[in-house]
Amino acid sequence: MGMTIAQKIIRDHLVSGEMTVGSDIGLKIDQTLTQDATGTMAYLEFEAMGMDRVKTEKSVAYIDHNTLQTGFENADDHRFIQSVAKKHGIWFSRPGNGICHQVHLERFGIPGKTLIGSDSHTPTGGGIGMLAIGAGGLDVAVAMSGGAYHITMPKMLRVNLTGKLPAWVSAKDIILKVLQKLTVKGGVGKIVEYAGDGVATLTVPERATITNMGAELGATTSIFPSDEVTREFLSAQGRENVWKPLASDPDAVYDEEITIDLSSLEPMAACPNSPDNVKTVHELAGMKIDQVCIGSCTNSSYRDMMRVASILKDKTVAESVSLAIAPGSKQVYNMLAKNGALGDMIGAGARVLECACGPCIGMGQAPNSSGISLRTFNRNFLGRSGTADGKIYLVSPETAAASALAGVMTDPRTLGKEVEISMPNSFLINDNMVIPPASPEEAKDVKVLRGPNIKPFPVTTALESSIEAKALLKVGDNITTDHIMPAGAKILPYRSNIPRLSDFCFTVCDKEFPERARKYGKGIIIGGQNYGQGSSREHAALVPLYLGIKAVLVKSFARIHCANLVNAGIVPLTFEDENDYDRIDQMDNLSLPNISEEIRDGQTVTVKDETKGFTFHAKAPLTDRQRSMILVGGLLNYTKQQAK
């Protein structure tokens, strides 16, 4: 029986387990990436393992999230990461060099290699045929130390692309259509593989847009073949030597398959407050807008920027609209400056931002009160923009630019003849903003620089024999990591300071939660379906750990967050009977009388609602390895124990 592309890469990197769907597998990791919002904690964890030097083929630390320096905190974190990178063998991408996923695609990604990153949009690398997976910072630290990365062997979902995109329809519209079909839960436990004759019509940046937003499906990752289009892209980046062809076998077997006819697509938009709340732009046309933001790791490539510049050329942004544009990398920015496209954007009235994540993670450019903002980003969760009642729509660069000129939601197909944008034969290559690590000999003299905002990794302890605690919070379905641990300009600077960060935990849902958690000292969280969707930020587990959360009991988990809870030593549980969710109220006294024994034996976990006087059962969605981790208090303790 033949194999899919993903199965072939997994086979070549398998260090433990068997490739049977649902079983635990360990993978050798070739490359890692971190960014500054998650990187500080990842490197504190790496230091805690006592390692002198990374053991991966390439590890890169990017500064792209916390670039708004309104105090010393972000600058101190950047200095810490740069010094750690220099000392421990990690390449350092300086502030201004670009967004991690865009730069990694341009300069470091290699078809057929494995990559994990402490950012949920790491699957962007699937656009050039990498097995690229978002993970928690502690998982990345373990991989940098030479350890395997463990996942549950996923199912294989084939998305068959046929035909060719019509004028003014783009890759963003493809992935929005996939989200409309599959929803934000449709990719859970699966690798999405794109195939069919339509693949050859898509450039690498277009493919990367699609794999980037595969994270919103809840998928383990998404991947495209490595073909002649991939070779041409890498050749234009001066890296053709790393190219290799990758394709699925003709008789490869997939667990699921859907087909999308590219020629039938039209411009799409994800409406507030979920990436799968999708309508056609035609349905929304004429809606007044207040703001347009173009960029992010989803749509900030040279091709995207050139499309936008061609639309804006010799025109003026509507007087009622604020337009902000952020190129994805210094390479893109510089090329736009040299060919005149940047001037076209500025001339139209765009506010050009630095090459960083910026508005996508609430770092500036928050819309006005109740403002309608069109964004070429990947997420539109409630409050993520920095404005609690902002209404965020996710659209293509073409739709965004056309709407910015008109002042209302506008179908770009009304613009007339489409301007063709060709991929360059050669990109402008200048890696002067990437600092190589010191040699092992030089590294001995490198001092790691720590600022006062950097606090230690929270202490984890072995699982108690029983847990008695209140249900300190009850929440509904699709709770995101932005609900649990918000981002934004006011909060992100404290990502290396868990005690301070705890002041903001769950405040999107309940402003009193942090104070209540401190009052009771320990607690249990109750939640609905798809709990923890969104970012890979392990802070959404570490901060609850710091606040004394012992277990999280929900209807179902998002993959990365469930893994992060285990890494932190918090017990993840799912209702055996989802009707029991309705029987529990916030502040009920709960007990798990035999928790350690039942986790150790792999049994169903007994839960008693002492307030209501009933007993029910929950499941612990854990592999044998994860059971061992939970029992000793999480991944860091487990790793230290295994090293003895």
- Residues labelled as active-site residues: 64-65, 119, 379, 535, 537
The C-alpha atoms of residue 206 and residue 223 are separated, in whole angstroms, by: 12
How distant is the alpha carbon of residue 378 from its chain centre?
9
Q: Give the whole-angstrom CA distance, residue 587 versus residue 599.
A: 25
Dig out the tokens for 222 from the structure: 């998404």
Question: Is there a contact between 62 and 103 (Cβ–Cβ < 8 Å)?
Answer: yes
**Cβ distance 370 to 353 under 8 Å?**
no
Alpha-carbon gap, residue 149 to 422, rounded angstroms: 38
Tell me which residue of 293, 290, 316 sits closest to 304, measured CA to CA: 293
- How far apart CA 300 and CA 84 sit, in angstroms, is 29
Output the 3-class SS for 481-495: HHHHCCCCCCCHHHC
* Residue given tokens 């708004």 in the structure block: 68
Return the DSSP state at 476: -
H/E segment holding residue 356: none
Residue with token string 């990694």: 104
Yes or no: say if 360 and 392 are a contact pair by the CB < 8 Å rule: no
Residues 233, 245: contact at Cβ < 8 Å?
no
3-class secondary structure, 453: coil
Q: From CA 384, how far away is CA 366, in angstroms rounded? A: 9
Q: Let me know: does 29 contact 56? Beta carbons within 8 Å.
A: yes
